[in-house]
Structure 1
Amino acid sequence: MRHVLVTGAASGIGAAIAARFGGDRLTLADVDGDRLAAVAAGLGAECRVGDLAEARFAESLVDSDVDVLVNAAGIYPATPLLEMTAAAWDRVQDVNVRAAMLTTVAFGRRCVAAGRSGVVVNISSGAATRARPGAAHYATSKAALEMLTKACAVELGPHGIRVNAVSPGFVTVDSSANPVTEEYAAAVSVNPLGRRGRPADIAEAVHWLAGEQAAWITGAVLRVDGGSTAGAPGLPLHWDGATAVQEGSSHV
């Protein structure tokens, strides 16, 4: 039985990931103690309540026998760029990037000291490669998280520790901390597979990356987004003429 630590486990994607590892020993962390307790109760999991923006709390989460670390905690407030403050910027970076760095470093140190292997899976976002209004801090944090994933994979790989990321597309979640409007959801959820993501879609990918079938994968970012990264299926044809190409015509 593995010992799995999941941050941001009180709701949404984090809670679904915790449930997918339900056969393992679980430690779940979140700032929302009430919701975390409800998730943990159904899984027989240990709860760790605290703010991941606090370095001491983030560093203290990793016990000596944790085998799998899933950094699922993240916040995505809507802040127009011209209204951005240092405090708003730092809060997002601290929760979304610094906390993952601190937990991964603590995890790596413990694994190396014990002479054992381990797995880290970070939860990124499509925002890492595509900005949107009001999310300069969030998009930057996820781009940084993907590079952190690669940097950690390079340094921890020789110690038998794999580090990967899962990048969800738009996923429908019930989150009071990170609400979205239906207008926004409709605009960003168009993809080739024609449906919005579910937390379970992301949980399955995380569970697979943490398992033996992915034993030779590290430093990777797995896009689980219904194909939205591949392109936009709703766009019209760029040319409304005949589909046949005239002989001798040129194309750019």
Structure 2
Amino acid sequence: MSKHVLVTGAASGIGAAVAARFANDGWAVTGVDLREPELRATLSALTTDTDAHVADLADLADPTAPTRVVIKAWERRGPLDAVVNAAGIYPARGFLDLDAAVWDRVQAVNVRAPMLTTRAFAELAVATGRTGSVVNISSGAALRARPGAAHYSTSKAALEMLTRAAAVELGAAGIRVNAVSPGFVTVDSPANPVTEEYAAAVSVNPLGRRGRPDDIAAAVAWLVSPAAEWITGTVLRVDGGASAGTTTLPPHWPGLSEVQAPDPHPTQGATL
């Protein structure tokens, strides 16, 4: 039997790319999302074998949904080998306009749901003597706040700590828990739209291009693979170097662009 992965947020963007990567690697995929037409279209495009991949509709803000989708996937398609928590929401809202309802929904989808899917997966794995891997999709916003994203940045910072905490407690059971933190990735998402002006401002990085969903999917697949079997509790930043530093600041001393390595053998006392 092929390996089995559950991917939340699988209808589009990074989640869809992750689902496609695992399908291409021969895995069975259970995709979870709230948007039925998009989810079914994404999964139907993965393979001609209509029995290989399964769609499950769920609003992960519902506190019962994350556990339910894991149990349902396990029972319907067979034991899970991995869970990828790619679902996330980012309803831009200025700090003075934040209210409890908006705040709570972001935390519910972005933090509570990954905690519940991870717990449900680990419980089933332990009960059946299996091991497995969880990968959470974080964001550079976990490290750097920005206007309109207090709720989102907080949720991603919490998700990274959740990743470490779960890794510490589940490691003895053979459950590895890691995260991938993307830089700006170009996605066509009606759920989380951004303006081109915003995209241009946040997508500057040392490697000089915007990220693609496939960049993130490749990192996720590697973390789940045997090549990463001694890695847990890690946040892998896949951002073109954006978290290392910025290339947008002007030189802060004269002649910066002309600086050269010093001559290791300077001429002493030269005369004309």
Which band: TM-score by shorter chain? over 0.9
Out of 228, 234, 237, the position equivalent to 2:242 is: 228
Aligned to 1:132: 146
Matched position secondary structure for 1:55: coil
Q: Which consecutive aligned stretches of 4+ in structure 1 deviate over 6 angstroms post-superposition?
A: none
Aligned to 1:29: 32
Matched position secondary structure for 1:145: helix
Q: CA deviation at 1:182?
A: 0.2
Tell me if 1:11 matches 2:25: no
> Which of these two proteins has the greater Rg computed from alpha carbons?
2
Question: Could you tell me how far apart the structure 2 residues matched to 1:89 and 1:239 are?
Answer: 44
- Give the TM-score, by structure 2 length: 0.88
Tell me if 1:46 matches 2:54: yes
Q: CA deviation at 1:222?
A: 0.1
Unaligned runs of 5+ in 1: 245-252
Matched position secondary structure for 1:9: coil
Q: CA deviation at 1:58?
A: 1.0
Q: State the aligned residue count.
A: 245
Tell me if 1:61 matches 2:69: yes
Matched position secondary structure for 1:98: helix
Note the aligned Cα RMSD (angstroms): 1.3
Matched position secondary structure for 2:55: strand
Q: CA deviation at 1:241?
A: 5.2
Question: Could you tell me how far apart the structure 2 residues matched to 1:68 and 1:208 are?
Answer: 12
Q: CA deviation at 1:57?
A: 1.2
1:149-208 per-position Cα deviation (integer Å, ceiling 9, x unaligned)? 000000000000000000000000010010000000000000000000000000000000
Identity %: 66
Amino acid in the other structure paired with 1:11: S
- Give the TM-score, by structure 1 length: 0.95
Amino acid in the other structure paired with 1:10: A
Aligned to 1:209: 223
Q: CA deviation at 1:234?
A: 2.2
Aligned to 2:162: 148
Question: Could you tell me how far apart the structure 2 residues matched to 1:81 and 1:239 are?
Answer: 37
Q: CA deviation at 1:239?
A: 1.1
Matched position secondary structure for 2:70: coil
Question: Could you tell me how far apart the structure 1 residues matched to 2:104 and 2:37 are?
Answer: 26
1:98-129 per-position Cα deviation (integer Å, ceiling 9, x unaligned)? 00000000001001101110100000000000
Tell me if 1:176 matches 2:190: yes
Question: Could you tell me how far apart the structure 2 residues matched to 1:111 and 1:144 are?
Answer: 24
Question: Could you tell me how far apart the structure 1 residues matched to 2:187 and 2:255 are?
Answer: 42
Amino acid in the other structure paired with 1:183: E
Question: Could you tell me how far apart the structure 2 residues matched to 1:187 and 1:174 are?
Answer: 17
Aligned to 1:75: 89
Amino acid in the other structure paired with 2:28: R
Unaligned runs of 5+ in 2: 261-272
